[in-house]
Structure 1
Amino acid sequence: MQSRFSRFLFAIAIGGLFHFSGAVAFAQDGDAGNPTQWIVRESKHLRLASDVNEPELLEDLTQSFDAAVPQWLAFWGMPESRLKNWKIDGYLMRNVDAFRERGALPASITPFRHGFSSPGTIWVRYQDTRYYNRHLVLHEGVHSLAFELFGAGGPSWFMEGTAELLALHRERVIVPKRLSPESEEPARTLLAQSMDPFTINQFPRNRADTPGWGRYKIVARDRDANSLPTLKSVLKLPMELNGKVEAYTWCWAAASLFSQAPESREAFLKAASRGSDQSEAFTSEFYRDVAEDWPVLSARWRLLLNDLDYGFDWSRHRIALSTSDPRATGAPVEMRVSSDQAWHSTGQWFPRGARLRFAVSGQCQVTTDWTSGPAGISIEFHRGAPLGQLQVCVLPIASPDQGTLPPMQIQSVITKTDVARQIASGNSDADAVDSLVIQGTQEVLIREPSWVLLRINLPIDHQPIASDSALGYQVKVVPVR
């Protein structure tokens, strides 16, 4: 995963980079400690050699690679025929020195922590988990693919971001195969034993989905330390990332955002065709393409990093934001907030100095056993706030100037005291909580032109319960005059 395109001229100069028909001899099986007996597995698009005596792993890696290629092409909108005859060589290395001694890893390539690629060859250091071996083979394969399709991969934020994006997948659940009548051993092809199809560009549902990957740990750490980077600072990352996992994390997150957001998807895909340009001009042209919508993209970035965790799903985070949203008129806004989506926008922006209060009714099914009102339930919490609590976020339109993001301004809308006061007033039936309209006493002050968003505080992987389709909070946003 070390930046490699600055060595492009070197890769071209040695032409093809040590194909397996060269000086190093390989056997299909044997003593992996003997470099003349390195194991080779070959598929349509990858010929892989390794000193790791795990034939099933190598078969899994080559088959996964072949399964990823058409998905990569589909991502870029290209036909499968474009890579009909494309094939690269690969090395999965436990003893890196042995590969250098035999000439399979050129001395000109400086040491790297995880992987390295050229137009026709990839090198990957053996990892402790099957998933991460597969992830790195795919990551480096995307870099080689970028040479083939686009001449190179562009600057680091784009190059490493797309490689991480198109390498990310979920560890497959493997089920034992029935023994064949001719043998007591099950078939060796792991891909054929998988319960799920091999699919790239999927967010992990839990740690078991991506063992060894560790990007969410970095996001959570920097979120807790209020040191998350701005989107613009990611686009300014240096060409050489030197294997820093943090930098790869932000490149991946930015690539995911740009490829998903309606404001940037077309520009992001188009930018790949300029892959041979690794200068600042590449980023400048991309920025010009999305400049009109940059405030929206910056806002989406803040929301993404605030929420990103195991179980994140873009389908629940497609909030409607636009630079064309009208200015608030001062009239109340009525809206429904449901649990099948994360943040909900009021559909307008509020000027500096505006003050808002809220009136809320309804319920939310937060678990199979518990239903919540807008103040939340006090017996279960998520990220320090009661489960089911209705929350408001004031999201500034202006992009942050500093290199790190300021903390998100998120607070509750209705308190337990508001609920108790409403019931004690004698104007409401405490048993009819689904129709009880709670008048919030807290004011939300708009300190700069901002969007105002609402959500129900639920775990990131919350799945709406069957009966939840008719539930949610009916909210009236009331400007205070």
Structure 2
Amino acid sequence: MNRLAPNLDCLRGPVSFSLAICFCLLAACSSEKKSPQAAEESVVIVADAPVETAGSEKTVPPQNVRQNTPQPEKTPATSSTAAPEASKPDQTIYRPSDQRPVHNNQRLELLGIKCYESPRLKLYTDIDPKIAVTLPAVIDQAYASLADYFGPLPPDREGTEFQVTGYIMQNRALFREAGVILDSLPAIVNGRHQGAQFWMDAQSQPYYLKHLMLHEYTHCYSMIMGDIGAPVWYLEGIAESMATHTTDADGKIHLNVMPHNKNDFGGLGRITLIEDAVEQAPPRSIQEIMQFHPANFLYNNEEYAWSWALCQFFDKHPVYGSPFRELAQHMHGDGFSKKIQEMLGDDYAKVNDDWMLFARNLQPGYDFQNAAVTFASGESLRPDSSATAVVNSQKGWQSSGIHVEQGIVYEVSATGRFTLAQKPKPWESTADGISFQYFKGQPLGRLIMMIQPDPDMKLTHPNSILKEYPLGAHASWMAPVSGTVYFRLNDAWNSLADNRGEVEVTLQRKSKPTTGDDSDR
């Protein structure tokens, strides 16, 4: 698949944390700098409505701050020597005043464009009225979730409630004839927002119609204050994440969910795009995604998929989830880069390894909690010595605590029984697996090994962490790289929670070294 991003092969492999943050900063949209004179003035912080640039389907708005310098009071001639205190400027933060156009609804209806309004959305559309009438209520429900995630919006000066005007277009020419598509608006591919307005094409899939509407509304809500310092991968990825939704039996909308299957998320296709991509090449690294440019998103859905996947990885990870969600409070100004640096810490290679394993194994219903890896370096064995590790059937990759050396032969043996899938009845298995059910070409329950290579080995074996070695209950093998051994019992990444039991694995180092194997380069 063709990619619009530049060739980044030279950037693969271990990099320093500072380099990774550099890429993050390259991806960020720069904030408008204030002159020294402006910095000295008293400012009433009232951000104007952000305007998208022409380089992207949805791009970062420039900062636009209205300044108000109060005039000092004059001192009466009869006053005492002490001058009266100058009036203090209003320092209240306001959201932009409502600058949406007021349309002649009767005229638009004669053209075939009807208006459907709720407290949080005024919708103009030419789609089926039976569908259209349900959409404002979706936004009204979603509003509380957006306020919870990004924080509540400040009031405007007029004290009005925040409302967005949306245009969902079956016949785009009709809306252009009606004059509701701004001449200044950059090209609309599928959807675009500007300030408190958005435009989007109607979608054939009912789910994706709501998804795209929620995506654009998320932009309107989260970017309305202007001065956006967050990079484009985050802006598009978090809008995709919030728009990924389900509706429960009571009709309640839930945002920011991981799709549990593909049938109920018709038209989304983000997981399928990732699955297809990793079948052809290793997953894109964190640094590659963090340096996406707005133009990459214009006609390429794969960039949306990667940005969505990275946001999902961080948002639902048991370690990174809490600090990642704090980023939503730092989208404005220059605080985002500092916060994400704090989140990633000083070991970029470990974070990227974690991400690469997630992206390689992403599937609907991915179990973030049980699949999360806890990295722990192992210790080397002396010749003819052994060590044991316990492998939990309910977890993903687990460190054995054992370090192996390239070219050395090792033997593994595993004992114990465990159960997979409790319904319709428990499936009991050993480390050899059960031959009537397979996952990724291997029997369900089979013991599988992965090696996290030492840092110096990543230069020559950059993707070795993605290689899996099926072992079963007994195996003899030669270490292809030096690193720490990880084990798991083969099962789908969305089916770990109902497993029960564990196996004990003994790893023995043989005495005679042999030459290395470069097969995974």
Query: Shared fold (TM-score greater than 0.5)?
Result: yes
- Hey, what's the Cα distance between the residues in 1 that align with 2:373 and 2:439? 21
1:246 match: 302
Report how far residue 238 of structure 1 moved.
1.0
Change (3 A) 1:197 1:341: farther
2:12 match: none
Give the SS at the match of 1:460.
Answer: coil
Matches within 5 A, 1:4-19: 4-6=58-60, 8=62, 19=100
- 2:286 maps to 1:231: yes
- 2:271 maps to 1:216: yes
Preserved contact between residue 318 and residue 372 of structure 2 (Cα < 8 Å):
no
- Hey, what's the Cα distance between the residues in 2 that align with 1:266 and 1:464? 22
Matches within 5 A, 1:274-289: 274-276=330-332, 286-287=340-341
**Which letter does structure 1 place at the counterpart of 2:140?**
D
2:398 match: 344
Give the SS at the match of 2:475.
Answer: coil
2:490 match: 457
Report how far residue 473 of structure 1 moved.
1.9
- Hey, what's the Cα distance between the residues in 1 that align with 2:251 and 2:428? 34
Matches within 5 A, 1:297-376: 297-321=351-375, 325-330=376-381, 332-347=386-401, 356-367=410-421, 368=425, 370-376=427-433
Deviations 1:84-119 (A, max 9, x none): 932211111111111122121112223333211122
Deviations 1:196-216 (A, max 9, x none): 632111111111221000112
- Hey, what's the Cα distance between the residues in 2 that align with 1:23 and 1:274? 39
- Hey, what's the Cα distance between the residues in 1 that align with 2:339 and 2:256? 25
1:66 pairs with 95, 120, 140, which one? 140
- Hey, what's the Cα distance between the residues in 1 that align with 2:167 and 2:463? 40
Change (3 A) 1:405 1:353: closer
Higher relative contact order (CA 8 A, sep 6+): 2
The TM-score normalised by the length of structure 1 is 0.75
1:117 match: 193
- Hey, what's the Cα distance between the residues in 1 that align with 2:396 and 2:134? 37
- Hey, what's the Cα distance between the residues in 2 that align with 1:168 and 1:318? 22
Matches within 5 A, 1:127-276: 127-148=203-224, 151-152=227-228, 154-170=230-246, 172=247, 194-195=249-250, 197-240=252-295, 241-261=297-317, 264-265=320-321, 267-276=323-332
Preserved contact between residue 203 and residue 310 of structure 1 (Cα < 8 Å):
yes
Preserved contact between residue 146 and residue 153 of structure 1 (Cα < 8 Å):
no
**Which letter does structure 2 place at the counterpart of 1:408?**
L
- Hey, what's the Cα distance between the residues in 1 that align with 2:434 and 2:343? 45
- Hey, what's the Cα distance between the residues in 2 that align with 1:405 and 1:252? 22
- Hey, what's the Cα distance between the residues in 2 that align with 1:195 and 1:477? 53
1:410 match: 468
Deviations 1:303-333 (A, max 9, x none): 1111101221212222222xxx344153755
Matches within 5 A, 1:379-458: 379-396=436-453, 398=455, 408-414=466-472, 438=473, 440-443=474-477, 445=479, 447-448=481-482, 450-458=483-491
Change (3 A) 1:444 1:315: farther
**Which letter does structure 2 place at the counterpart of 1:345?**
S
Deviations 1:151-174 (A, max 9, x none): 43722111111111111113x36x
Matches within 5 A, 1:23-38: 23=104, 25=106, 34-35=110-111, 37-38=112-113
- Hey, what's the Cα distance between the residues in 1 that align with 2:137 and 2:497? 36
Deviations 1:235-260 (A, max 9, x none): 11112221311000000111112223
**Which letter does structure 1 place at the counterpart of 2:103?**
G
Deviations 1:326-346 (A, max 9, x none): 441537553332332222223
Change (3 A) 1:16 1:52: farther
Report how far residue 296 of structure 1 moved.
2.0
Give the SS at the match of 2:486.
Answer: strand
- Hey, what's the Cα distance between the residues in 2 that align with 1:410 and 1:111? 45
- Hey, what's the Cα distance between the residues in 2 that align with 1:290 and 1:138? 29
Q: How many residues align?
A: 416
Preserved contact between residue 226 and residue 405 of structure 1 (Cα < 8 Å):
no
Change (3 A) 1:289 1:7: closer
Preserved contact between residue 229 and residue 405 of structure 1 (Cα < 8 Å):
no
- Hey, what's the Cα distance between the residues in 1 that align with 2:332 and 2:107? 34
Change (3 A) 1:64 1:351: farther
* More moved, 43-52 vs 58-67: 58-67
1:475 match: 505
Preserved contact between residue 218 and residue 246 of structure 1 (Cα < 8 Å):
yes
- Hey, what's the Cα distance between the residues in 1 that align with 2:251 and 2:486? 36
Preserved contact between residue 393 and residue 452 of structure 1 (Cα < 8 Å):
yes
Unaligned runs of 5+ in 2: 1-51, 67-95, 512-521
Unaligned runs of 5+ in 1: 174-193, 415-437
Max Rg structure: 2
Give the SS at the match of 1:145.
Answer: helix
Report how far residue 120 of structure 1 moved.
0.6
Where do 4+ consecutive residues of structure 1 move more than 6 Å?
Answer: 15-18, 80-84, 399-402
2:164 match: 88
2:102 match: 21
Change (3 A) 1:201 1:273: closer
Preserved contact between residue 367 and residue 495 of structure 2 (Cα < 8 Å):
no
Preserved contact between residue 59 and residue 232 of structure 2 (Cα < 8 Å):
no
Preserved contact between residue 24 and residue 102 of structure 1 (Cα < 8 Å):
no
Report how far residue 149 of structure 1 moved.
5.3
Preserved contact between residue 386 and residue 457 of structure 1 (Cα < 8 Å):
yes
Preserved contact between residue 206 and residue 311 of structure 1 (Cα < 8 Å):
yes
- Hey, what's the Cα distance between the residues in 2 that align with 1:361 and 1:90? 61
Deviations 1:173-211 (A, max 9, x none): 6xxxxxxxxxxxxxxxxxxxx346321111111112210
Report how far residue 22 of structure 1 moved.
2.9
* More moved, 297-306 vs 393-402: 393-402
